[in-house]
Amino acid sequence: MYFGNPGTSYVLKALGVGEDLAHTSIRFGLGRFNTEEDVDYVTDKMVQVVTKLRELSPLYEMAKEGIDISKVKWQTA
């Protein structure tokens, strides 16, 4: 498994994606040795994981309700 550069994607930056959102992105690479089964497996697994994470995330619920999370004043301890 290769994790690549931990910095944000220059492509996402060029598209105007903010730094916070760009840091939450996941990049996948495909090569000539990947099979259709590989792609299907990763796609299915990602759907499962993202669905589970959304179920656990209060931030996702806030975003679904239209709350701009970047404007929330978070209380610090």
> Quick check: 28 and 42 in contact, CB under 8 A?
yes
Chunked into runs of 10 residues, the chain (77 residues) has average pLDDT values of 69 87 83 96 95 90 87 83
Residue 72 pLDDT: 85
* The pLDDT value given to residue 3: 61
Question: Which residues, including other chains, have CB under 8 Å from residue 9's CB and lie 6 or more apart?
Answer: 22, 25, 27
Q: Specify the pLDDT at position 51.
A: 94
What pLDDT is attached to residue 8? Answer: 80
The pLDDT value recorded for residue 21 is 80
